[in-house]
Each structure stands twice: as structure tokens, then as C-alpha cells.
Amino acid sequence: MKNFIIVRLGNKQRDLKYFDMYLPKKNEIESVAEPFAGSFSVIRNYYYDVNNIYCADNDEIYKEKIKLIFNDLEGFKTEKENIIKFYKDNNTNLEEMKKRKVFIKRDILKEFSKTLKFHTFDDFFARGIVQTPSMSFDYSDLKKLYDKIKWFDDYKIVFEKLKNDNKSFVFVDPPYFQSANKSYCGDDYRDKDNNLKDNTSVYIDILHFMNEAKCKVMLIINSSEIIKYLFKDYYKGCYNKLYTLSQSKQILNIYTNY
């Protein structure tokens, strides 16, 4: 179950090989959670058949998009096959496709549903690069996993639910602190009135959780002096991350409480 329908910024699909040696064995846990779910790559690849699966994400638009897709998988699959055919029929010149990107989104894809435009097409042009689309999804397995997941709106709910359960594993992959990827930075955010709001309390919440939790916790986050100081007692290793669009490189640190 290595692929997902939607590619999200900051997802760990390509990073798993750098930290999977630190993941708990599946037979040691009865519940697993990703409180900053994204495309929940750790659960999909290692813990999809664990009894209890929990995810949290405060992006209601994203959650609604996933729900729409899984409510009509066959329709989504058919439309994706159609757009792949369109891509293959028209992709005679990669540079020309890049130039025509806006035109294609606005005019050529009118016959496809809004759901497909939001999800599949953005995958093809993810990070400004035209990618070759594929049908490399096991739709039935993804649907079974999705139906098992209990969703919450806030990471704090997941923390509270599992912190005293020594048979649980919580994989924490929050938006990064002062990230090199400016599209994926958790220091602050804009509210509905476009006011800039501080969001650094999330890192304090994670530290308190790791200090108090009886469950197993792994944190993956970008390296900075503040982060290294806060989580110094839990450090296990690090690896290099390359962002496709900006070509920025960043060190990501691995922390566990076990």
C-alpha cells in the first residue's frame, strides 16, 4: 500500500527508509495514530492492519476531498483513467506541456469533475513539475484502511486518548519550524480574517506529550537549534531532505521516547 490518492506537501512516503529501523514492531502495538495525518504514510506502509487506527487533521477541505473520493472510488478511478489517457495522448513535448499548464487547467479539463481536478491533476503538476500519471493505487485496500480510521479534528485529542496506553504508537510529523520549504512551515498561520497567528505552541505540546506519554512516540521534524534543545533527550538520528521545487536541502531529525 505504498501510494496514496493525494500527494501532500511534507508527506513521508519517500523518507520511510531513513527511519523505519526505529519504528516499533507491529506485534508490540494494538493502536496506532498519526495526529498530523497528511497522507498517513507510516500507517499505510507498516500498520494498516493494526486493530485501532487514529488520525487527526484540522484541514476540513482536505478531509472532505478524501471523503468524496472514497465515496465514489469507481467514478474517481474511471476519471483518472480518462485523464491519464488525455495526458499520454498530448504529452509529446514536456516543455510545451509546462507552458500550457494554466490553459489545460482552465479549458481542456472542463469535462472532468471538480473532485478530479483538485486531486489527480494537481498530482500531475505537483511542485511545478509535470509528472507521468499512473494507476499505481490499490483502491480496494485504501478504501478498507480509510474505513478503519477514526478521525479527529485536533492533535491534542489524539495525544490525550493514547498517552497512557503502553500498547500504542504515535507517529508525530508536524508542520516544520522555520522550514526551508516555505509552503510547509508551522511557525504561524493566517486566520479567516488574514491575521497572522503564532503557532509555535504546537512544539511545546509535543514536548510535554513525549515527556508524559506511556505510549511509544516518534517525532520527525526539521533540525534547528531550538528544536535540538527542546528534544535533546530523545534524539536518535537524522537524514537529509531535498525539496523538489526549490531544490532546498534540509536536515530532518528523528526523536523517540523509547
pLDDT in tens, 191-236: 667 776 677 889 999 999 999 999 999 999 999 999 999 999 999 9
Most confident stretch, 4-18, 109-123, 133-147, 186-200: 4-18
pLDDT band at 185 (very low <50, low <70, confident <90, very high): low
Q: Which residue has the cell 511542485?
A: 127
Query: Using CA atoms, how far apart are residues 241 and 41, in angstroms rounded to an integer?
Result: 16
**Average pLDDT over every residue of 58-80:** 76
**Which DSSP category does 182 fall into?**
T
Q: How many CA atoms lie within 13 A of 3 on its CB side?
A: 11
Q: 248 pLDDT exceeds 80?
A: no
Q: 39 pLDDT exceeds 70?
A: yes
What domains appear along the chain, each with residue ranges and CATH number? Answer: 16-58+153-256 (3.40.50), 59-149 (no CATH)
pLDDT band at 11 (very low <50, low <70, confident <90, very high): confident
Q: 67 pLDDT exceeds 60?
A: yes
In 21-93, alpha helices (H): 41-46, 60-71, 73-90
Query: Which of residues 234 and 119 earns the better pLDDT score?
Result: 234
100 grid coordinates:
500550457
Q: 237 pLDDT exceeds 80?
A: yes
Give the pLDDT confidence of 18-36 residue by residue, as tens digits: 999 999 999 999 999 999 8
